[in-house]
Structure formats: C-alpha cells, structure tokens
C-alpha cells in the first residue's frame, strides 16, 4: 500500500469574523466577477459562494507573493467572494497567468464599492437619527434608589441627567459597547469585547477612544489579560455617586421589563423612576 504524505498548509488561515462579515456585507450576495451576477446563496438558502485569494496562500498557488505575512493573506484586501466557476477561472492554469493581482483588486473594488456606498449612506442616516434621539430624563430615581430622601433626589437627579446627555453625544456603537461592559460585574478585556460584538480589537480600541474622549470609559494599561494590557474600564457616571453604574447593573438584572441596554443605548433614564 502506498502512503501519501500530506503537507499541512502553513500560510492558510481562516478569515477573521469581522473580515467574513465585511466580505458578505459588501458582496451584495453576488459573485464579484465583472460580468457575473451569480447569487452566492442557492434557492434553498445554502451559501455556495467561495472565498478566493488574490495572492494565493501557499507556494505554487496563483499569484503567490512570499513577502506577504499570514495575516496579510487572510486580510479583507486579499480576499474576494466568487462563484465556484469564476474562482476556478482565476486560479486555473490559464487564469493565474491572465488575471494578475492588480486586475483582481480593481475588480473587487468596483464590485464592492456599490455596496460600500449604500452601507455608508445607511450608516449616515442611522447616525443622524442617533443624534436626533432625545434623552428621556429621570425625574426621581425612586425605582433604582428608593432610600434617597428628597434632598438627595434633588441633588442627584440633575447629575444623572447630565451623564445621560454625555451618552447621547457618542455613537450607537460606542454606547452598545459601554452597555456590554457595564453589564459585567468584573473587568472585561478588549479581546473578549471583540469576540462578543463580532469586531476586531482595533475596532474596540477605536470605540473606547471615542468613549474616553467623552469621559465615559478607558483602557486600563495596568490590567493585564495574558501578556496584553487590555482592561476596559467604565468611568463613574457621577463623582459623588461612584457606585451608580453598579447599582444600575444590579437593579436591571432583577427586572424583566428592561435591561442596561435600554438605559445606556436607548437613553431611557425614566426607567429608573417609580412609575
């Protein structure tokens, strides 16, 4: 019996979750080949598209470039979604010579730009709506803090509403990240945040930078996850009530009609009042 020795691929890594998401989003569910309009899902809803490399991942593959790292090879810029036929077209014996990397990058750009522009318009509309969202202010905080006396309520209600206005000034994505962190009783690392929201660590860092500019959160360089400083820390909502966000989390965990997201993302601080 002849034993066939198989050599494992050394460079081929699966695309990251955020890369897969962007590839799917900007494909428009169509093959990227310039004259092809094949759908990437069949009539049964099964995904039949294929991820093609512009520069092949392994030596001997089409358009292989030895200067590219493993991360470069699985980056969005090096991947394009095609139907099976056109994947074979560019990687077959004739296609690998006929269609160079520059040609394929331009084909990918032209195809995806249509959907990127549509997504940008949609995102701009969402951002505009977010900016127009009005905070629903709290009035008495009786539901979240029933032990306050009248003097304490008079003092703290305006301070919490100032915090709510600060939240209104950051994007929906940033508030969503903040709500996730607030909902956790312990420090959560950047890597875990990235996994939970389906983004990469760079995107998480950018959102935290936005939150930090608003005085809402920061990355603690003294908190270590493995060998990487990566703790996302929420700043106090109110200097004179430093435990407010802990109180909010504990209170919302006991309710069935609302969550931390409804307050932090939805900006509905009236949920903290006694009906």
DSSP one-letter string for 245-257: HHHHHHHHHT-SS
Closest CA to 167 of 130, 218, 198, 196: 130
Write the pLDDT tens digit of every residue in 58-87. Answer: 999 999 999 999 889 999 999 999 999 999
Residues of the chain with pLDDT > 70, as a percent, come to 87
Domain extent for 219: 134-272
Write the pLDDT tens digit of every residue in 86-128. Answer: 999 999 999 998 999 999 999 999 999 888 877 666 555 555 5
Are residue 163 and residue 248 in the same domain, yes or no? yes
Are residue 144 and residue 256 in the same domain, yes or no? yes
Are residue 261 and residue 147 in the same domain, yes or no? yes
Are residue 115 and residue 141 in the same domain, yes or no? no
3-class secondary-structure state, position 145:
coil
Question: Is 91 part of any domain?
Answer: yes
| DSSP string for residues in 149-176 | -HHHHHHHHHHHHHHHHHHHTS-HHHHH
The tally of domains found in the chain comes to 2
**Residue 47 confidence (pLDDT) above 50:** yes
Are residue 106 and residue 150 in the same domain, yes or no? no
Backbone angles phi, psi at 225, to 5 degrees: -115, 105
Are residue 94 and residue 202 in the same domain, yes or no? no
Q: Enter the pTM of the model.
A: 0.52
Write the pLDDT tens digit of every residue in 250-265. Answer: 999 998 888 999 999 9
| pLDDT at position 121 | 62
Are residue 161 and residue 256 in the same domain, yes or no? yes
| Single residue among 95, 120, 145 that ends a domain in this structure | 120
| pLDDT at position 275 | 74
Write the pLDDT tens digit of every residue in 118-131. Answer: 766 655 555 555 55
Question: Is 109 part of any domain?
Answer: yes
Using 50, 70 and 90 to split pLDDT, how confident is the model at 223? low
């Amino acid at each position: 019996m002849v034993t066939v020795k198989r050599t494992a691929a050394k460079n081929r890594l699966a695309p990251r979750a955020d890369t897969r998401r962007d590839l799917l989003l900007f494909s428009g569910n169509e093959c990227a080949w310039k004259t092809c309009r094949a759908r990437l899902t069949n009539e049964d809803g099964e995904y039949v598209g294929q991820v093609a490399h512009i520069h092949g991942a392994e030596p001997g593959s089409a358009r292989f470039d030895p200067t590219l790292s493993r991360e470069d090879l699985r980056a969005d810029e090096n991947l394009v979604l095609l139907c099976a036929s056109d994947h074979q077209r560019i990687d077959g014996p004739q296609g690998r010579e006929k269609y160079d990397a520059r040609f394929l990058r331009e084909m990918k750009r032209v195809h995806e730009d249509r959907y990127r522009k549509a997504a940008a318009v949609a995102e701009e509309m969402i951002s505009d709506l977010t900016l127009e969202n009005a905070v629903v202010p709290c009035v008495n905080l009786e539901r979240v803090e029933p032990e306050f006396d009248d003097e304490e309520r008079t003092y703290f209600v305006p301070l919490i509403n100032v915090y709510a206005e600060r939240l209104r000034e950051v994007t929906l994505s940033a508030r969503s990240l903040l709500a996730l962190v607030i909902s956790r009783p312990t420090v959560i690392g950047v890597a875990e945040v990235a996994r939970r929201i389906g983004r990469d660590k760079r995107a998480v860092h950018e959102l935290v930078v936005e939150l930090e500019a608003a005085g809402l959160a920061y990355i603690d360089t003294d908190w270590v996850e493995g060998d990487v400083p990566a703790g996302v820390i929420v700043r106090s909502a109110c200097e004179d009530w430093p435990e407010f966000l802990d109180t909010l989390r504990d209170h919302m965990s006991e309710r069935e009609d609302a969550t931390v997201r409804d307050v932090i993302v939805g900006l509905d601080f009236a949920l903290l009042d006694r009906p």
